[in-house]
Amino acid sequence: MPGYHPQDIEKKWQAHWKEHHTFKAENQPEKPKYYVLDMFPYPSGAGLHVGHPLGYIASDIVARYKRLRGYNVLHPMGFDSFGLPAEQYAIQTGQHPALTTEQNISTYIKQLSSLGFSYDWSREVRTSDPAYYKWTQWIFLKLFNSWYNLDTDRAEPLKTLLEKFEQNGSEGIRAAGDEEERHAFTAGQWKLFSEKQRLQAVHPYRLAYQQDTYVNWCPGLGTVLSNDEVKDGLSERGGFPVERRLMPQWNLRITAYADRLLQGLDTLDWPDAVKEMQRNWIGKSIGAEVTFQVQGHEPAQIKVYTTRVDTIYGATFLVLAPEHELVKELTTPAQLQAVQDYQDATKRRSERDRMADTKTVSGAFTGAYALNPFTNEPIQIWIADYVLAGYGTGAVMAVPSGDQRDYVFAKHFNLPIVQVVDQQQIGEQADPTKEGLYLHGLIQGQNYKQATQTLIQELEQRGIGKGKTNFRIRDAIFGRQRYWGEPIPIYYKDGVAYGVEEADLPLVLPEIDEYKPTETGEPPLGRAKDWKYKGQYEYELSTMPGWAGSSWYYLRYMDPHNTERFVGQEAEQYWQNVDLYLGGAEHATGHLLYSRFWHLFLKDLGLVTANEPFQKLINQGMILGRSNLAYRINGTNTFVTAGKKGDHQTTALHVDVNIVDNDVLDVEAFRNWREEYANAEFILEDNGTYVVGVEVEKMSKSKYNVVNPDTLIEKFGADALRLYEMFLGPLEQYKPWNTNGMSGVAGFLKKLWRLYHPQDGDFAVTDEAAKPAELKALHKVIRKVEEDIEKFSFNTTVSALMITVNELTALDCHKRAILEPLVVLLSPYAPHLAEELWVKLGHEAGSISHTQYPEFREEYLVEDTVNYPVAINGKVRETLQFPATATPADIEAAVRASDFLPRFADGKEPKKFIVVPGRMVNVVV
C-alpha cells in the first residue's frame, strides 16, 4: 500500500540500530567529545507515560545533532534499580525485589527503544548489579579511610593522619568535623594505645563515620526516611506515622566540602533557581559562637551560634531543640511532665514540618536559667520545636527586639523584650535594624561593625566564644534499615567498625526469608543466616540510601565493563564530565549536591580530573495531564453532557481519557469501564454525542488522565510523538497534554513524505538544479535548526520545519539538492523517517547518523529583487519591483517616468523624492 506507514518503518530501523550497534561510543582522542546524559530513571512498575519522555527526546535530539557536527557522542542509559517501592512490593507478595526490578526494567527498555533513542545500550548500568555496586562500596571504603585536612583543604588518606599522630599526637591537627567528638592525646600515648583505642581515636576524623543521629524513623516501613520522604508527619509511601528518633547512623561528612560546593556553583551553566536552592541549602553564614553558663548547674554550658552577636545585650531567653542533650539534665521536677509531653509531640513532626510552620507558637519552660555572659542576668531556658538539634548547636540565643520569631514567642509567653539599638522601632513586631548606635555595656555608642568586632574580641579574650563561619548543611545520613540497597561494607570486631577488604568486594546481598525488620527490631539483613565476615564477624545490617549508586553513575558509563577500576584513567580523562545533563528540578538539593560532593572527594584523591560532574544542566518542565470529566446528575446514574450541565445539580467525575476522542466520550466503553456505570444513562448534545469537560492537572492514575506512549506510537508513530512533545512549548516550561494535537504532527510527516513520493506513489526525487526560491527555503531552515538546537529551543525548530515543508510543497519541489539536506535536518527529530528516506536517496543504511550537518550559505538568502511601496504625500499608491542593486537615482528616475505619478500628483511637479534603500519610496508634491 502506498503512503507513509510509520509503524513498519520504525520497527525496521530500531532493529537495524540494535543489530549494527549504530550508536556505540568508543574513546576517540582525535575527535572532540560530547557527553549528554539523562537523569537516572527508577524503573517503576507503571512504566512510562507521555510526560516521562520529554527530557529523553530533547537529549536525544542534541546527541544526534552533535554527531552530525562531528562530535564523538556518549549518550548512555541505565537504571537506578535499588529502592523502597520494589521492597514494599516484596513485603506484600514475598517476591524477591530483584525479580520485579528486572521485569520493570524490561518494560522500560522496550518503551525507550520504541521511541528511537540513540542510546549506547552496551554501556547500560544498574545500581543493583553487584558488578556495579562493588564500586559504590569501594568508594564508601575510600571515604571511610579518608579524613579532611583543613590545612591542605582537601581529603587525604588516613595514612597522613596516622603519621601526624605518630609524630605529635592530636596536637595542632586541623580536621573537618566536630572537635568535641575527639579526644586529645600525645604521641607517646598514641604509641601505647591498643588497636581498639587507636580505631576509636581515629573514627571521629573519618569522612564516613558512625554517630548517634536524630532521624525520621518510620515503624510502619521499618526504616529511616529522608526529609523528602516525609510529608505532614507521615511517610510519603504508605502514609505511615514518622517520628524523630536518636539512632546510631552512618554519616558522610559533606560538611567538609560546604565552602567548595558553594564556590563551584559559580563555574556551572545551571538554572539560577537550582544554584540558588543549593546556596540556600548549604547556607553559609558568618557569626560567632557564644557560651552561656547554666545557673546552678556548673559546669554545664550551652553553646549558641549567632549571626547577630551585636544583639547579645537583648538576649532575654535561650531556646533549645527538644532533643538537645542537656534538656534532661536541666529540667526541674516541676517542669518535667510539661517538657516530656512537648518532646513526645515533637517526635511526631518531621524537621521539614517544623521548619515550615511559622504560625504556631509552642514551647515548654525547663525551669532552668542561664546567665547572659555580658549582662550576667539570669535568663530562662525553654525548649521549642522551631529549633533543630542538627542545625548549629541546637540552641538559639533569643533576641525578641530584633527577631520576629523570638518576638512572637516572647509575647506569647510574656518574656522580656529589650531594645539594643537607639533607632529600633519596636511595636507590633521586631525590628532587625543594624542602623544607629548601641545602647548597652561595652558597645554603648558604637555602630554595628564596631560592636561586632568589640564583642568577638571580648569573647575570645575571656575564652567564652569566638568568631565563626557556619553552614546550614548537615552531614548526610548514609544508612537505611531496609533490604533492597547496597550492603555497607563494614564489619564489627570487639564493638569497633572495620572496613571490608577491597579484595572481598562486592559484599553481595544475602538471601533472606522475609523483607521486614526482625522481631527484635533489627533491619531485614538481620534475618540472613550465617552471614558473617570471614565466618566470624558481624556485618553492618543497614544498607546504603537510594542516592548512593546514583552519585557516581555518570563515571561508570565512561567505562562500564572495567573490572579493575571504577573508571579507567584513559576513559575518564577523555570524557571528563557530562556536557549536558537533563532532568527534573526536584533533585536540586539531593542527587545533584551529593554527586558534586562525591566528585570533589574523588578529585581530592586524584581519581578523576574534572572539577565538577555536570557542566550544563537543563530542567525540563512537566507535561500536565488533560483530564476529562463526566457530569452525573446528583442522586441518579444519569450523566449530562458538558454543554447542558448548567441545567442540573451535578458532580464532576474523572473519566478514562483513553475512551475519549476529540472530547467525545465513547458511551458504551464508559458503561463497560466500571461496574457502577454499567446502566448509566446519558443526556446528549443535539448531534447525539456526549461531550466531556476538560481540566488541566498533573498526570496520575487516580485522575485517569495518564496517556500511555505505547498507544500513541501504535496509532501515530514514534516520530510523530517525538515531534509533538517538542512542539508543545519551550522545554523548561510546564505545558498541558492534548492527544488531539497528535494528528496535526502526523499530517506534517505525511506531507513531508509526499515531497519524496508525490501523491504517495513511488520514490521520485530528481537531480534537477534547484531554483533560487527552493534554495532560499532550504538555507533559511538550515540556519534556524542550527540556532535553535544550540539554544535548546526545540519547539521553534519543529515550527520552522513545518513552514519549510509547506513552502517546498507549494513550489512542487522534488529535487535532491533540496530534499537530501532536508532529511539530515529532520533526522534528530524524526530519526526513523529520516533513515528510510536517506537510504532511498542512495546512501548506506544507518549512515545518516554520522553524516555532516548541511552547510549554511548566506548568498542563497540574498534577494535578487526588492518590492518598493511608493507613497505620494504619505499615502501608498503603487508597488514597484527593482533589482536589489538599484541605486536611489535609478529608483527616482523610474518613478518619475511612471504613468501613475502624474495621475496621483494631479499634474503637480514633485518637490522631494525620499528613497529608503530596500524599504520604500515617498514622493512629496
Q: What is the mean pLDDT of residues 233-237?
A: 82
* pLDDT for position 885: 80
Q: Give 643-675 pLDDT, tens digit per residue.
A: 899 889 999 999 999 999 989 999 999 999 999
**How sure is the predictor about 501, in pLDDT bands with cuts at 50, 70 and 90?**
very high
- Distance in angstroms (rounded) separating the CA atoms of residues 592 and 550: 9
Q: Is the pLDDT of residue 847 over 90?
A: yes
272-276: Cβ within 8 A, 24+ apart? 273/585, 273/588, 274/585, 274/588, 274/592, 274/617, 274/619
Q: What is the mean pLDDT of residues 823-834?
A: 98
**How sure is the predictor about 692, in pLDDT bands with cuts at 50, 70 and 90?**
very high
**How sure is the predictor about 120, in pLDDT bands with cuts at 50, 70 and 90?**
very high
Pairing outcome for strands 465-471 and 230-231: unpaired
Q: Is the pLDDT of residue 229 over 90?
A: no
Q: Give 525-537 pLDDT, tens digit per residue.
A: 999 999 999 999 9
Pairing outcome for strands 317-320 and 378-383: parallel
* pLDDT for position 450: 97
Q: What sign has the CA pseudo-torsion 46, 50, 56, 60?
A: positive
**How sure is the predictor about 159, in pLDDT bands with cuts at 50, 70 and 90?**
very high
From the list 796, 797, 794, the residue with the least C-alpha distance to 618 is 794
Q: What angle do CA 791, 794, 795 make, to 5 degrees?
A: 125
Q: Give 861-891 pLDDT, tens digit per residue.
A: 887 778 899 999 888 989 998 888 888 998 9
Whether 777 and 808 have beta carbons less than 8 Å apart is answered as: yes
- 891: which 3 cell numbers? 529608483
Whether 303 and 370 have beta carbons less than 8 Å apart is answered as: no
CA 775 → CA 40, 336, 769, 770, 771, distances in Å? Answer: 43, 87, 10, 6, 6
Q: What is the mean pLDDT of residues 259-265?
A: 97
Summary mean pLDDT of the chain: 93
CA 501 to chain centre: 35
Whether 496 and 478 have beta carbons less than 8 Å apart is answered as: no
Q: Is 101 exposed, middle or buried (0-12, 13-18, 19+ CB in 10 A)?
A: buried
- 380: which 3 cell numbers? 530562662
E-only strand ranges, 62-206: 72-74, 146-149, 154-157
- 635: which 3 cell numbers? 442522586
Q: What is the mean pLDDT of residues 689-701?
A: 93
Q: Give 714-729 pLDDT, tens digit per residue.
A: 999 999 999 999 999 9
Which residues, including other chains, have CB under 8 Å from residue 197's CB and lie 6 or more apart? none
- Distance in angstroms (rounded) separating the CA atoms of residues 897 and 409: 90
* pLDDT for position 852: 96
* pLDDT for position 44: 86
Q: Give 189-227 pLDDT, tens digit per residue.
A: 999 999 999 999 999 999 999 998 777 888 888 777 777
* pLDDT for position 555: 98
Pairing outcome for strands 33-38 and 580-583: parallel
- Distance in angstroms (rounded) separating the CA atoms of residues 56 and 38: 6
Q: Is the pLDDT of residue 302 over 70?
A: yes
Q: Is the pLDDT of residue 1 over 60?
A: no
Q: What is the mean pLDDT of residues 127-140?
A: 98
| Residue of 905 and 269 predicted with greater confidence | 269
Has 701 been labeled as part of a binding site? Answer: yes
Domains in the chain, please, with CATH?
Answer: 31-129+551-619 (3.40.50.620), 284-471 (3.90.740.10), 623-707 (no CATH), 738-860 (1.10.730.10), 865-924 (3.10.20.590)
Q: Is the pLDDT of residue 166 over 80?
A: yes
* pLDDT for position 84: 82
* pLDDT for position 204: 96
Which residues, including other chains, have CB under 8 Å from residue 194's CB and lie 6 or more apart? none
Q: What is the mean pLDDT of residues 461-477?
A: 93
Secondary structure of residue 884 in the 3-state scheme: coil
Q: For the ranges 99-103, 353-357, 423-427, 876-880, which has the lowest average pLDDT?
A: 353-357
